[in-house]
Amino acid sequence: MTLEPAMSLEGRVALMTAAGSGIGRASALAVASLGASVMVTDINADSARDVADRIVSAGGRARHMALDVAQEEQIAAAVAAAVSAFGRLDILHNNAAYQGADAIEGDIDVVSMTVDFWNRMMAVNLTSHMLGCKHAIPAMLENGGGSIINTASMYGLAAYQAMPCYGISKAGVAMLTKYVAASHGKRGIRCNAIAPAVILTEGVKRFLPQELVDMNESHAALPYLGKPEDVASMVAFLASDAARFISGQVIAIDGGTTAQLPTVTAARALAEKARTHGR
């Protein structure tokens, strides 16, 4: 296998969710740049249209539609629209997360958690990913299989002091990924998840305080924060035949953050102090 043809997505059709901004937008642009025809969807139809327009202006093929992933009938309609527009479905990127005004304040601790908040966040973060798989898999099987990429998070790999609902939903996405890979792999479905650390997107700028962003940057093994394009390149790779033997994996895209012991930041400061005193 030579890498370039294996990475090509010519002739493939991708349904991208929450693709009007951030990681979803970068991923839609990435799969389009490799030749895929893309159904760009987002709860915000205008942003989905902008992304589809960018793809078409660059010589690619794209359509757009509004999709609120908390609504099962809209997910079913988006799968049908992708197949109707482009004749098949090969790639699904499940990517939405809950962004209501209470996304941070409602998710402080299990003791203060309301069932209403829990259900609303789980619907967008986790149930939507299951529903995407439910409706996309039969369409993918019409052509011998496909690749599903779910969006988990480093907060679903290890616990943080806040955001339990978010983290638990993302841990659920990771396990959903393994179940789908195990259940449908023999029929040609690959399913993987990406688990990013803090990535500078519109969503992060809106929801996370700058101190938290800075803390994540200083804790990473690499000297910089990740960009949406750093995640999108993995989405595009997983979508392609270059990843044909990769399934059921939850891939951290985190600048080495989760590879380290929690004490590493303090240890770095100590080492720096020793170096300074040594001089």
Ligand X SMILES: NC(=O)c1ccc[n+]([C@@H]2O[C@H](COP(=O)([O-])OP(=O)(O)OC[C@H]3O[C@@H](n4cnc5c(N)ncnc54)[C@H](O)[C@@H]3O)[C@@H](O)[C@H]2O)c1
Taking residues 138 to 177 in sequence order and writing x for each that binds ligand X by CB under 6 A, - otherwise, the string is -------------x-x------------------------
Under 8 Å between Cβ of 19 and 66 = no
Under 8 Å between Cβ of 64 and 45 = yes
The helix (H) or strand (E) run that includes residue 231 is: helix 228-239
Instruction: Pull the structure tokens for residue 230.
Output: 């750093």
Q: Is 113 in the site for ligand X (CB under 6 A)?
A: no
Q: Is 78 in the site for ligand X (CB under 6 A)?
A: no
Q: Could you tell me the smallest distance in angstroms from the CB atom of residue 84 to ligand X?
A: 20
Among residues 30, 96, 165, 220, the one that binds ligand X under rule CB under 6 A: 96
Q: Is 201 in the site for ligand X (CB under 6 A)?
A: yes
Instruction: Pull the structure tokens for residue 272.
Output: 């720096």
Among residues 91, 103, 198, 252, the one that binds ligand X under rule CB under 6 A: 198
Among residues 8, 33, 99, 258, the one that binds ligand X under rule CB under 6 A: 99
**Residue type (1 letter), 20:** G
CA atoms within a 13 Å half-sphere pointing along the CA-CB vector of 95: 30
Q: Is 97 in the site for ligand X (CB under 6 A)?
A: yes
Which of the 8 DSSP states describes residue 199? B
Please choose, from the candidates 216, 127, 136, 226, the residue with its C-alpha nearest in 3D space to the C-alpha of residue 168.
Answer: 127
Among residues 50, 72, 202, 241, the one that binds ligand X under rule CB under 6 A: 202
Q: How far is residue 219 from each of residues 214, 258, 263, 266, 269, measured CA to CA in Å? A: 9, 9, 10, 9, 11
Q: Could you tell me the smallest distance in angstroms from the CB atom of residue 252 to ligand X?
A: 10
Q: Could you tell me the smallest distance in angstroms from the CB atom of residue 132 to ligand X?
A: 11
From the candidates 98, 155, 160, 166, which is the catalytic residue?
166
**Residue type (1 letter), 160:** Y
- What is the C-alpha to C-alpha distance for residues 199 and 148, in angstroms, rounded to an integer? 21
Q: Is 95 in the site for ligand X (CB under 6 A)?
A: yes
- C-beta closer to ligand X: residue 153 or 192: 153
- Tell me whether residue 166 is one of the annotated catalytic residues: yes
Instruction: Pull the structure tokens for residue 20.
Output: 């009007």
The window from 1-9, 19-27, 51-59, 258-266 that contacts ligand X (CB under 6 A) reads: 19-27
- What is the C-alpha to C-alpha distance for residues 39 and 17, in angstroms, rounded to an integer? 9
Among residues 31, 36, 69, 133, the one that binds ligand X under rule CB under 6 A: 69
Please choose, from the candidates 30, 137, 46, 134, the residue with its C-alpha nearest in 3D space to the C-alpha of residue 38.
Answer: 30
Q: Could you tell me the smallest distance in angstroms from the CB atom of residue 188 to ligand X?
A: 26
What is the total count of residues that contact ligand X (CB under 6 A)? 29
The window from 3-11, 196-204, 234-242, 256-264 that contacts ligand X (CB under 6 A) reads: 196-204
Which of the 8 DSSP states describes residue 44? S
Contacts of 262 (CB under 8 A, 6+ apart): none
* Interaction site with ligand X (CB under 6 A): 17-18, 20-24, 42-44, 47, 67-70, 95-97, 99, 124, 151, 153, 196, 198-199, 201-204
Residues annotated catalytic, as ranges: 166
